[in-house]
Amino acid sequence: MRNFSDEYRDFLKTHSYKPVTVSGHEFLVIDSGSGSQTIVFLNGIDTQQEWINYVSALEKNYRVVMMKYPVKVYKNKEMIVLLKELFDKLKISLPILCGISDGGVLGQLYAKNYKVGGLIMMTTLTVDSDYVAGMKKEQYILPLMKLYIKTVKFDKLSLRLSRRCKSISETRPTKKKPMQYHFLNASVRTRATDIPISVQ
């Protein structure tokens, strides 16, 4: 039985990432297919490989672009400016943006600032003034949450979480991957929309 790693390895035999530098930041881009419309896949952080089946299916009728983002871009506002420069360099005038997770947020922010041919969002937040206000509140609450998560015992945290979220599954942390790691790792890897959140 083939697994996803095998599929991805086979995909990379016929599709290769090419470096494209804009304003000193390097994107790694797969640009394939042809057509009058271009679909650009915007992924969550480090999940670009999830698009391979879509690229394979759509490249027969569309130009399709998927990418690895530059590593040192921490704010979505900066990223959308870089995306505009990337699209200009690749001669993409009206991209159809297909975003998942953080890529959906990027797509919405891009569409608020530049013309697009379409916007498709999957499993993402909607960006509005309430979202931005919530992000600003998190700037102050997040360090306290991290401290709490680092110091509280898992059983106590699990009990509190399960009371709040009825559908939470009972998974136990291991010595190699404690529960705290998952919370902290998620917050470290999330780009801020309008505000920098320092993580230590």
Any bridge partners for residue 22, and if so which? 25
Residue 21 phi/psi, 5-degree rounding, is: -105, 130
Check whether residue 142 and residue 66 sit in a common domain: no
For tokens 């999830």, name the residue.
50
Check whether residue 9 and residue 56 sit in a common domain: yes
In a domain, 127, yes or no: no
Check whether residue 108 and residue 24 sit in a common domain: yes
In a domain, 160, yes or no: yes
Check whether residue 95 and residue 160 sit in a common domain: no
| pLDDT tens digit at each of 200 positions of the chain | 778 888 888 999 999 999 999 999 999 999 999 989 999 999 887 788 888 989 999 999 999 999 999 988 888 889 999 999 999 999 999 999 999 888 888 999 999 999 999 999 888 777 665 666 666 666 666 677 677 767 777 677 667 666 666 544 444 445 554 444 333 333 333 444 433 333 33
Provide the domain limits for residue 25: 4-122
In a domain, 129, yes or no: no
Cα 123 to its chain centre, rounded Å, is 11
**CB contact set of 37 (below 8 Å; sequence gap of 6+):** 62, 63, 94, 96, 117
Q: Is this prediction's pTM over 0.85? A: no
Greatest CA separation for the chain: 56
How far is it, in rounded angstroms, from Cα 105 to Cα 191? Answer: 10
Check whether residue 95 and residue 147 sit in a common domain: no
Check whether residue 91 and residue 142 sit in a common domain: no
Check whether residue 17 and residue 108 sit in a common domain: yes
Burial class (CB in 10 A: 0-12, 13-18, 19+), 139: middle
Query: What's the structural domain count of the chain?
Result: 2
Check whether residue 145 and residue 65 sit in a common domain: no
In a domain, 81, yes or no: yes
Check whether residue 39 and residue 84 sit in a common domain: yes
Which of 104, 36, 22, 31 lies closest to 70 in space, CA to CA?
A: 22
What is the CATH classification number for the domain harbouring 23? Answer: 3.40.50.1820
Check whether residue 22 and residue 53 sit in a common domain: yes
In a domain, 193, yes or no: no
What is the 3-class SS of the chain, one letter each residue?
Answer: CCCHHHHHHHHHHHCCCEEEEECCEEEEEEEEECCCCEEEEECCCCCHHHHHHHHHHHCCCCEEEEEECCCCCCEHHHHHHHHHHHHHHCCCCCCEEEEECHHHHHHHHHHHHCCCCEEEEECCCCCCHHHHHHHHHHHHHHHHHHHHHHHCCHHHHHHHHHHHCCCCCCCCCCCCCCHHHHHHHHHHCCCECCCCCCCC
Check whether residue 62 and residue 156 sit in a common domain: no
